[in-house]
Each structure stands twice: as structure tokens, then as C-alpha cells.
Amino acid sequence: MTTTTETTDPWSSAAPPEDRSMASDPWGNAPSGQEQASGSSWLTSSAEQAPITNSWTDPFLVEWFDLRSLVNTGVKHLVENFRGFFDIAKQPVDWMLEIFTLALTSVHPFVVIALFALVCWQVSGWRLALGGIVSLVFLGAMSVWDESMITLALVLTSVFFCLLIGIPTGILMSRSEGVARALRPILDAMQTTPAFVYLVPIVMLFGIGRVPGVIVTIIFAMPPLIRLTHLGIKQVPADLIEASRAFGASRRQILYRVQLPLAVPTIMAGVNQTLMLSLSMVVIASMIAVPGLGLMVLRGIGRLDVGLATVGGLGIVILAILLDRMTQSLGRDARERGTRHWYESGPIGWIYRQFKTQSKT
Amino acid sequence: MSTKLEVKNLYKVFGDEPKKAIEMAKQGIDKDQIFAETGMTLGVKDVSLQIHTGEIFVIMGLSGSGKSTLVRLLNRLIEPSAGQVLLDGENIAAMSDEALRQVRLKKISMVFQSFALMPHLSVLENTAFGLELAGVPVSERHEKAMQALQQVGLESHLHAYPDELSGGMQQRVGLARALAIDPEVLLMDEAFSALDPLIRTGMQDELVQLQAKYQRTIVFISHDLDEAMRIGDRIAIMQGGEVVQVGTPDDILHNPANDYVRSFFQGVNVSQVFTAKDICRRKQSTIIRKTLEGGVAAAIAQLQDADRDFGYVVDKEGRFEGVVSLASLWSAEKSGKSLMNACLLDLPIVKADSSLSEIISVIAQAPCAVPVVDDNQKYLGLITRAQLLQALDREEDTTP
Ligand SMILES: Nc1ncnc2c1ncn2[C@@H]1O[C@H](COP(=O)(O)OP(=O)(O)O)[C@@H](O)[C@H]1O
Ligand SMILES: [Mg+2]
């Protein structure tokens, strides 16, 4: 699907304000001409018959205040005046997405699979590595490799920004009760808002396409990471903090040497959650013209092509399981896996041992 | 004896208006009433103490009497509401944050009831924690941590993690961590209370031995009379945030300041609770070192100077060797025999852990004061008949 142009909303260079039905149409160029002519598209339908008024028997027939046009003009104003800001906000996301996409789609699939297997082996063990190889080959065998890699790039980009913003925010919350109190209702709102509704403000401000799709994913997937970082730090036993203080630790030392290391498993659970939410949001975001596996599902449903939808859905599930396993094992303590340090296991451990035996002889 | 740590009119109020609560306390309103009227808790009330260099100062009291609060005021883990804490004359209560940090890094360290070891660090790293915070380079801090671990006998568990150790071993690490910075003052908040009784007495003995070697100033919190008696040079008794009595264990046993203090010994069967170690006394004048130059002659001189009839011979490790009398020394000198040959035979020795009831007859029949030794034959002190009677006498005083 190409990116939208034409008469869509404030993002187009020249938006004819009189064309209300088009302006509110997130699909922009999608509706066919005949639909427009008939004016009966379910997406664009609006009551434009003879004046209807409220009465005592039917008090809610017409809106009491016109939120819809209020928001439309408000957003129009916002976007027209702060276009620069929103463009700048999009930039870093755009770059990261470009990098990830390029990395995953331009190299040979076998190289990607091999790298994946190595990472799986490192974070968990040979079992997961084997599972990773089988899953990825299966994706390729269904001929959804490109779509999978695009979806993966979207997810990785969103997780990258979630980590970049979410962990410091969580730390900030744990350090300042004021920040925590201010952010909590926002996080609550973010988490209770259904995924689909998220699209509204993002489309309003950023338009549609891959980058807005990633932005909406970031916003949707971040709250659990913030919460769990906050929780992980708060959970560190008070006597350990007291002991650190008694030995002269500064606030920064307490954070880096005690709180964060002890919060790692909880933060990793947050990363896992964020990853899973990202994946589910990337699928929903296909409704605002984000390509990848999600789009296959959406298209399959739209055309009643259940086979296509299944292939896309299966791809998503496979990716989800793989990423879930990988992050779950990250959260586990290395000692539970029988080694004391992460560099003593997996492929790095192998290299490490070679190095050690060499230096001994 | 110089004063290491001095506390002057120290108050701690948990609540919003400490000034008001302190004012009320000064007017003689008690802790419970202040709480009922204002909702504020008077944790520590007008405490003044002098803690001497090199002593083990025990703070004893029932749970909730403010012991933990007081000890945390000493290194300002809790901010004082009023008053001074002077370490070598420097007021900790009024220090800048940075100065306070330096004091904690270098001068005062602490051992916790809950051990409070870092679960993500190995024994060695835990022990080196204070040094790491102070920015000591890795090799140096590991070396110092090793020394500290040797002092507590844990040098073979360097790379274990706290959850792999027993409670007693964990607290040894806690102690080693505190010792590693070579502190001038060691604060111990019920450090042994979470341990099994057997391990606990073992740790107490080790602490006393360490103390004999290094002479740190130790503030030891305890709610246990037995423990306080065993290790304390002086004891402060706390009640409702106040210090009601300070003194040597003897003072407190003989002249309890009030019923609260007396209640600690109430119903306590002294002859069962106290062991030989608790009542024995070390008198330097009667200890004869085996390494002493001149042997027999020097021993005679020492006993005559001190006006004693009997002397107790120990080797250079402090192990008990035997008892000599002036008479036996004279005859040894005449016949040119060694100090060891002057030792009297068949004199009783008592073990440190024997209860008073077990040793009554031994001490009553002995011709001289009876030496007390521990399991390693180490000489701990003497018990005279007078001392024993005094200790048993207390029982009559305190049991109603
Ligand atoms: N952080 C706190 N906030 C309010 N009250 C406290 C706090 N810490 C201790 N207290 C109160 O101070 C008193 C002394 O407590 P504490 O020093 O812990 O006693 P101890 O160690 O002798 O058992 C108790 O009444 C306790 O409830
Ligand atoms: Mg306490």
C-alpha cells in the first residue's frame, strides 16, 4: 500500500476543508470512486438529511456540542502550526526503523537465521536455538519472510524506543514520589485505552504510515515497562538500601550497584511484556497503513481470504513465541542455568573457554 | 580512658512537629501520652551517653524501647530531631552530606540483624562492598576483604553467594563487610539475634576474641541479658526511648535503677543462666606469661609485687598451663627447676560453659581461685569463692 496523499486531513499539502467526508477518512485514497458517489460508505457515513432536533422523548438524537468538528479544527490547527515539531519527533523513529529494516531484509535469510540461532543459544541454550532455526525456516517456507522481517523491524524499533524512554522514566518514578504520582494516572489511562482507540490521536497528529504505526506501538507498549521498572526498584528490600547507606553509598551508587542489578528480573519481565504488546499493536497498526504480517491478516479478512489471514496470523504467533522465550530466559538468573557469568555460557562462553585454555598453555 | 563517641541530649521524634513533641517530653509528658495527643512517636528521648575507645558498649532493652533508633542516630541513618552525636568531638548530627559519607566510608560501619547482604554479589564482593563504594582499586579491596574474611574464618567461601550460606556464615560475611573498612566504631544492631542459640554463643565468643585483638569501639544492641552480660564491658538499659541505667554488668545486677531493669533478671535462675565465663574476672597481676624472661625468679617478683599467693601460667597464645604458688616457686628456685615444674598438681579447672550450679562444689573446695578455660584451653579468668557467692546472692535479691 502506498502512503497517502491527496485530500486526506491536515497532512496533505492542500486540504479542502469543505470535503468533510474525505477529511475524516483515514484510508485517504482507499475508497473507490463509486463508493464516494453513492456516499454510503460505512466509514464516511454521516447524517446529512433534513434538520433533526432533540426532543424530550429523544434527547440524544443530535450531539449537544460538536466534539467532532472541535477536534478536527483543533488538530488541524495543531498540525499546521507544529508540523515541524511532529516531523522532528518522527525523525529518530524513522532512522531506527530504516536501520532495522535494512539489516533484516538486505542480508541473506540464512545469515539472519544463523545470527538468531546464536543469540538464542547465548540467552537460553541450544534448545531454543534449534527452535529458533525451525521457526524461522518455517516462516520462510510459508514465503512470508519479507513480511516477517518487516514486522520484526517494526517491533524491534518500538522496543528500542520503549527501553530508551521507559527505563529512565521508571527510574525517575522510583526516585521521586511527585513524578510517580503525576505519571500514574497517565499510565493507567494508557493501559486502559483499547489498542484500537490509540490509533485516533496518533493519526490525528502524525498521519498514517509506518512511522506513525511505530509511534503508536511505542506509546501502547511502554506502560508495562515503566511500571515494572518502577516496581522492580521499589521492591528492593529496604534493609539493603539501609546497609548501602550505612556504608556510605551515594544515591547514584545505590541506584547502579544495588537497585538496578536487583531489579533486572522485574525489568526483564517488563521488556517481555513490552515486546508482546508491540507485536500485537503492530498488527493492529496495519489499519493505518503499516506493512508486514499484520497487513496480511487485515487484507485476508477484508477479502474473506481466510488462508491469507491464517498465514499472516501463524507468522505473528511464531514470532511472538520466539521473542517471548528469548526475553523470558534473559530475565532468569544466570546461576539458575548453572553458570555464574553470562560470558561463561553459549557461543561467547565457547570462545571464552578457547581463550582461557590458550592462555593457560 | 578516652571518649570515642558521645551522645548529648539526643531526641528522635517520628512525626511532623518534632519541636512540639520534644517540648512536651521536656514537660514530663510520657511517650504514650504524646502519641495519644499528637500521633507522634518519641523514639529516643533525651539520651546522653559516653562510649569509650575500645570498649564493647551494649544497649539493652525490650523490643520497641528505641535501641535500633538510637544506634541509627549514631551514624545518622535516621536524622536526629535534636541533640548531638560527637565522634572524636565532631558533631555527626550537623555534618554536611559529603562529610557524613566520608565518616560512613572510613570510620563507622554497621552489622545488621537481617544480615542485609547483597544477593547479587559473591562473598568476596559483599565483603569488599564498603571499599568499592569508597573507590578503592579492585586488587587492593579484594586483598583487604580477604583479610577481613580470614578474621571471621570464611576465607574458603570467597565465591559463594549469600543464599548458599547458612545464617551463621551469612552474618560472618556481614561482620567481615563491616571489618573490611577497618572501622574505628562498629555498630551492631541485634547482630546475632537471628541466629540459632548455639551458633550465637559461638559468634559472641569470636567477637570477644576479635575485640581482644583489635580493640575497636563496638556499640552492640541486644534484647538478651545473657548476651549483654557475656560480651558487654558496659551496658546501657533503655526503656521507652530513655536510657534508664548505664554501668558495668556488675553494677546493673547489683544496683538495678528501677523495677524495669530488675525485671530483666526476674525469675532468672542465676545459677542456671550464668556460666563460669560470665562471672570470671581477669586480673592481670596474677597472669604469668610463660615466655617471661627469667622464668621462676620473675614470677616470684611479680607475685610478691602484686601481693598474691597464687599465679596462673599461660603460654604466648593465651592457653592455660598451670597454677603456681609462691611456695612452689620458691622450692623450684632452690632446686633450679623450671617454671613448668613449679606448677601445682591436682588443682581444679572449670570449663567456660559450665553453669554456676555445676561448679559450686569445685570452687567451694578449691584452695585458690579457680581458672576458667574455653574449649581450646584458652585462659579466660578466675572465679573466687567471693565472686561465686556474690553471683548466687543476686538470685535471692531478684526473685520475689
Ligand atoms: N520509621 C518509624 N516511624 C515511626 N515510628 C517508628 C519508626 N521507627 C521506629 N518507630 C518507633 O520507635 C520506637 C522504637 O523503635 P525501635 O528503635 O525499632 O525499637 P527496638 O529496636 O528497641 O525494638 C517504637 O515505638 C517504634 O514503633
Ligand atoms: Mg530493633
Residue A319 CA to residue A310 CA, distance in Å, equals 14
CB–CB contact B77 A242 (8 Å): yes
CB–CB contact B129 A247 (8 Å): yes
SS3 B321: strand
Secondary-structure class of domain A80-360 per CATH = mainly alpha
Probe ligand 1: pick from B14, B237, B264, max atoms within 8 Å of CB? B14
B188/A87: higher pLDDT: B188
**Residue of B106, B120, B177 with shortest CB distance to A262:** B120
CB–CB contact A245 B104 (8 Å): yes
Q: Name residue, grid cell 542465676.
A: B270
Predicted pLDDT of residue B199? 86
Grid coordinates belonging to B296: 621462676
Predicted pLDDT of residue A335? 56
Contact B169/B203 with Cβ under 8 angstroms? Answer: no
Among B210, B211, B219, smallest CA distance to B186 is for B219
**Residue of A237, A240, A247 with shortest CB distance to B133:** A247
Among chain A residues, the shortest Cα distance to B113 is held by A239
Complex confidence, ipTM: 0.74
Among B221, B224, B216, B276, smallest CA distance to B55 is for B216
Predicted pLDDT of residue A227? 95
Q: Name residue, grid cell 552492640.
A: B220
Task: Quickly count helices (H) and strands (E) in chain B.
Answer: 18, 16
CB–CB contact A242 B104 (8 Å): no
pTM of the model: 0.74
Q: Which ligand is nearest to the CA of B78?
A: 1
Among chain A residues, the shortest Cα distance to B71 is held by A246
Residue A248 in contact with partner chain B when CB distance is under 8 A: yes
Q: pLDDT digit of tens for each residue in chain B (400 aa)?
A: 789 999 999 999 999 999 999 999 999 888 889 999 999 999 999 999 999 999 999 999 988 899 999 999 999 999 999 999 999 999 999 999 999 999 999 999 999 999 999 999 999 999 999 999 999 999 999 999 999 999 898 889 899 999 999 999 999 999 999 999 999 999 999 999 988 888 888 889 889 888 888 889 999 999 888 788 888 999 999 998 999 999 988 788 778 888 888 877 665 556 666 778 778 887 766 777 776 556 788 888 888 888 888 888 888 778 888 888 888 888 888 887 778 778 887 888 898 888 887 888 888 888 888 889 888 888 888 888 888 887 776 555 444 3
Among B80, B71, B126, B395, smallest CA distance to B265 is for B395
pLDDT (tens digit per residue) in A303-328: 999 999 999 999 999 999 999 998 88
Residue B128 CA to residue B140 CA, distance in Å, equals 10
Contact A289/A243 with Cβ under 8 angstroms? Answer: no
Among B188, B182, B279, smallest CA distance to B230 is for B279
Contact A230/A177 with Cβ under 8 angstroms? Answer: no
The residue ranges of every structural domain in chain A are 80-360
Residue A280 CA to ligand 1 centre (angstroms): 50
Longest dimension (CA), chain B: 82
Grid coordinates belonging to B90: 565532631
> Shortest Cα distance from B1 to chain A (angstroms)?
27
> Shortest Cα distance from A262 to chain B (angstroms)?
7
A123 dihedral zone (left: phi>0; alpha: psi -120 to 50; beta): alpha
Nearest atom of ligand 1 to the alpha carbon of B238 = 22
Nearest CA to ligand 1 atom 10: B43
Three-state helix/strand/coil letters over A243-308: HHHHCCCCHHHHHHHHHHHHHHHHHHHHHHHHHHHHHHHHHHHHHHCCCCHHHHHHHHHHCCCHHH
Domains and CATH numbers, chain B: 3-107+183-264 (3.40.50.300), 277-392 (3.10.580.10)
pLDDT (tens digit per residue) in A44-70: 555 556 677 888 888 888 888 888 888
Predicted pLDDT of residue A31? 42
Q: Which residues of A touch B73 (CB under 8 A)?
A: none
CA A132 to chain centre: 22
Three-state helix/strand/coil letters over B160-225: CCHHHCCHHHHHHHHHHHHHHCCCCEEEEECCCCCCCHHHHHHHHHHHHHHHHHHCCEEEEEECCH
Residue B90 CA to residue B83 CA, distance in Å, equals 13
Probe ligand 1: pick from B44, B69, B223, max atoms within 8 Å of CB? B69
A77/B52: higher pLDDT: B52
Bridge-based pairing state of the strands B370-373 and B320-325: unpaired
Grid coordinates belonging to A257: 550497584
CB–CB contact A239 B112 (8 Å): yes
Question: b/e map of B111-131 (b: 16 or more CB within 10 Å)?
Answer: bbbbbbbbebbbbbbbbbbbb
The dihedral built from the CA positions of residue A136, A142, A146 and A150, taken in this order, carries a sign that is negative
Task: Quickly count helices (H) and strands (E) in chain A.
Answer: 15, 0
Give, for B43, the enclosing helix (H) or strand (E): strand B41-52
On the question of pLDDT at A241 being above 90, the answer is: yes
